[in-house]
Amino acid sequence: MITGASGLICSAFIDQLMGDNERENLGIKIYAISRNKDYAQKRFQQYWNNPLFTFMQHDIIKPLSLDVPLDYIIHGASNASPKRYATDPVGTMKANLWGVANTLDLAKEKQARLLYISSGEVYGEGDGTDFTETYSGYVDCLNLRACYPSGKRASETLCIAYKEQYGVDIVIARPCHIYGSDIGRDDRAFAQFLRKAQVGEDIILKSEGQQIRSYCHVMDCASALFYILLRGKDGEAYNIANRESILSIKELAEMIANMAGVKIVYDIPSEQEVKGYSKVQRAVLDSSKLESLGWKPFIFLEDGLNRVLNSMMCHK
């Protein structure tokens, strides 16, 4: 079962799994959970009538009930939107906390392994070093923007609590900034840059763009989830990042602008937009622990962005 099925990461995971089903005749049954049936039907049109794919419309903040056996649960449902952090911080925290509680209850009932897709934002503000899985930086819990990283931190702790108290088998993924062509309603900076480039408009940068981030193509992220799900150690967390794809937001904007033949223009963000911005200056994730499971990325940033732009241009 996969929650947040229509999102960037989980939809790519489903694509890989359905592709493996077709190539290897694996017979793996997928239960895809999402709130928006219309969007899901458009995204998964090629699988909609496949007997191995079942869509279920459900809001993850409500308890889950499924009358079928489950071996694995991938919980990826979450508000991953800076705009929503500013306009709906309560909903953001509820989606994280209640969502993971409901999936943990189901994992407990079904005796299934739960892969929780958390976030690299759990690390908070660092000391300038790359984030390993044991690092814990500063998050101002009295700042509105903390609704997302604090919700993710609490959700991870709830996973560990269920493991210790009820014996639930859990593993945690902490993705960096994941990019791909299926950006849908994504309002993060890279998605806004790509949309502007797609239609030949200048890219708008609403900060100096000095924040440094790790990036990873969504297909590499999806393959990482397989490694974590099948090889990850119970109760452990694993960063997902491409160690060769690290740059500032300004450098990312420049790379996309050069590819699309557009310019970068600077603008002043609104007060509402500023509330949704992360104040973390450097968020570089160390992927060594994931690589020790045998995973490695194959799509590097310039090539990955070219693929994304080409795909988006074909679907204008």
Q: Is the sign of the CA dihedral 228, 81, 219, 292 positive or negative?
A: negative
Strand order in the sheet with 30-34: 53-57, 30-34, 2-3, 72-75, 113-117, 170-175, 237-240
120: left (phi over 0), alpha (psi -120 to 50) or beta: alpha
Give per-residue pLDDT as tens, 289-316: 999 999 999 999 999 999 999 888 776 6
What confidence tier does 207 reach under pLDDT thresholds 50, 70, 90? confident
pLDDT, tens only, 225-283: 999 999 999 999 999 999 999 999 999 999 999 999 999 998 877 888 787 778 899 99
CA–CA distance, 64 with 99 (Å, rounded to integer): 9
Sign of CA dihedral 174, 177, 183, 189: positive
CATH architecture group of domain 59-182+215-245+282-298: 3-Layer(aba) Sandwich (3.40)
Distance CA 283, CA 211 (A): 8
Which residues on adjacent β-strands are paired with residue 283? 213
Beta strand pairing status for 246-248 and 212-217?
A: antiparallel
Residue in the structure block whose two tokens are 């060769």: 244
Percent of the chain at pLDDT above 90?
A: 84
Q: Where are the domains of the chain?
A: 59-182+215-245+282-298
Sign of CA dihedral 63, 106, 163, 124: negative
Give the per-residue pLDDT at 121.
97
pLDDT at 316: 64
Mean pLDDT of the chain: 94
More confident residue, 182 or 94: 94
pLDDT above 90 (res 184): no
| Distance, CA of 196 to CA of 192 (rounded, Å) | 6
Pairing of strands 177-179, 212-217: parallel
pLDDT in tens, 74-86: 999 998 888 899 9
